[in-house]
Amino acid sequence: MSEPRGPVDSSRVPRFAGPATFARLPRTDEVDHVDVAVVGVPFDSGVSYRPGARFGPAAVREGSRLLRPYHPALDVSPFAQVQVADAGDIACNPFDIGEAVETIQHAAESIDATLVTIGGDHTIALPLLRAAARKHGPVALLHFDAHLDTWDTYFGAEYTHGTPFRRAVEEGLLDTEAVSHVGTRGPLYGKSDLDEDRRLGFGIVTSADVMRRGVDEVVDALRQRIGGRPLYVSVDIDVLDPAHAPGTGTPEAGGLTSRELLEILRGLAGADLVGADVVEVAPAYDHAEITAVAAAHVAYDLISLLAMKEKQ
């Protein structure tokens, strides 16, 4: 097997030029094998407020141009450790959510690599979890989000960006002894939202908990809950405060800083990460690519964690 092919050399091709792949990595058709595939899902038909996340994958790829090959905080060169490549976008029907969910699931299952998926709205987490559970059995879940996303329906629709994790529990995709929300905050429809969420098995670490308890204590608690189970990480970029991520569809005040989010992710080093997504980047509301850059760094940290795992 050949050595991993990394990004375009920025000393030879300026960062504002060259391929528009994630981190200027090769495409999957340009390498002989792939360990970690970055795949886009430009789908936002499940949103309940501001649309635009269908343009998220392209924006995050653009925001990734400045990423460099060595990760000092994790002491890893992910693109040299494993073959990471850009698998392009999963094209799905923007007018039929049910069909889109099926298309995303089948496409995810067809890619012979561990996926880091760029959305798109949070509806896409359900088919991605179906694909992960089919391969690994019920998975632990860390869900970074301002919102619970365990509501039952919106306007009678079962598949939306506010319902994927209720459906995932109902379908047996999650190990409900090891599922947690991180960064939740803001008003709810009623106290029953929390009661229902608890009944589904979720633990909650609010954004205020992160502020008061600190990153290290939060990471310790999350790792205890996860244990050695296969882990899926789903990151809605609105977990960040709008000051750090204005370009999203349902912003809520009082969120995590980008530093807090990245440090929590880095605290997962050594966990059995089997897949991840970063969703809800809506560039029409972004300013100077703040949100896209943050999302690109989140994806880079997730790739780095996967590279460390693959080399263990």
User: Which string of DSSP letters, residue by residue, matches the chain?
Assistant: -PPPP----TTTS-TTSS--SGGGPPBGGGSS--SEEEEEE---TT-SS---GGGHHHHHHHHTTT--S-BTTTTB-HHHHS-EEEEEE----TT-HHHHHHHHHHHHHHS-SEEEEEES-GGGHHHHHHHHHHHHSSEEEEEE-SS----S-BTTBSSSTTSHHHHHHHTT-EEEEEEEEEEE-S--S-HHHHHHHHHTT-EEEEHHHHHHH-HHHHHHHHHHHHTTS-EEEEEEGGGB-TTT---SSS--SS-B-HHHHHHHHHTTTTS-EEEEEEE---GGG-STTHHHHHHHHHHHHHHHHHHHHHT-
Percent of the chain's residues with pLDDT above 70: 99
pLDDT of residue 152: 97
- Is 149 annotated to bind ligand? yes
pLDDT tens-digit readout, 29-55: 999 999 999 999 999 999 999 999 999
pLDDT at 312 over 90: no
pLDDT of 2: 83
- Residue 22 pLDDT greater than 80, yes or no: yes
Q: Does the pLDDT value for residue 304 go beyond 80?
A: yes
| Percentage with pLDDT > 90 across the chain | 98
Whose tokens are 């998926």? That residue is 117
Average pLDDT estimate for 122-140: 98
Q: Is 96 annotated as a binding residue?
A: no
Mean pLDDT, rounded, for 256-280: 98
Q: What does R_g of the chain's alpha carbons equal in angstroms? A: 18
Average pLDDT, the chain: 97
Measure the CA–CA gap between 68 and 23, rounded to whole angstroms: 8
Q: Does residue 120 have a cis peptide bond before it, meaning omega lies within 30 degrees of 0?
A: yes
Task: Spell out the domains of the chain, with CATH numbers in brackets.
Answer: 22-310 (3.40.800.10)
Q: Is the pLDDT of residue 195 over 80?
A: yes
Q: Are 174 and 129 within 8 A, CB to CB? A: yes
Ligand-binding annotation for 236, yes or no, is yes
Q: Which residues, 6 or more positions from 144, have their beta carbon under 8 angstroms from its beta carbon?
A: 181, 182, 183, 233, 234, 235, 236, 239, 256, 261, 264
With the C-alpha atoms ordered 270, 150, 172, 200, is the resulting torsion angle positive or negative?
positive
For β-strands 203-206 and 231-236, DSSP reports them as: unpaired
pLDDT reported for residue 95: 98
Q: Which two tokens mark 57?
A: 């994958």
- Across the range 257-270, mean pLDDT stands at 98
pLDDT at residue 213 in the model: 98
Q: Is 238 annotated as a binding residue?
A: yes
pLDDT tens per residue across span 141-168: 999 999 999 999 999 999 999 999 999 9
Confidence check: pLDDT of 1 > 80: no
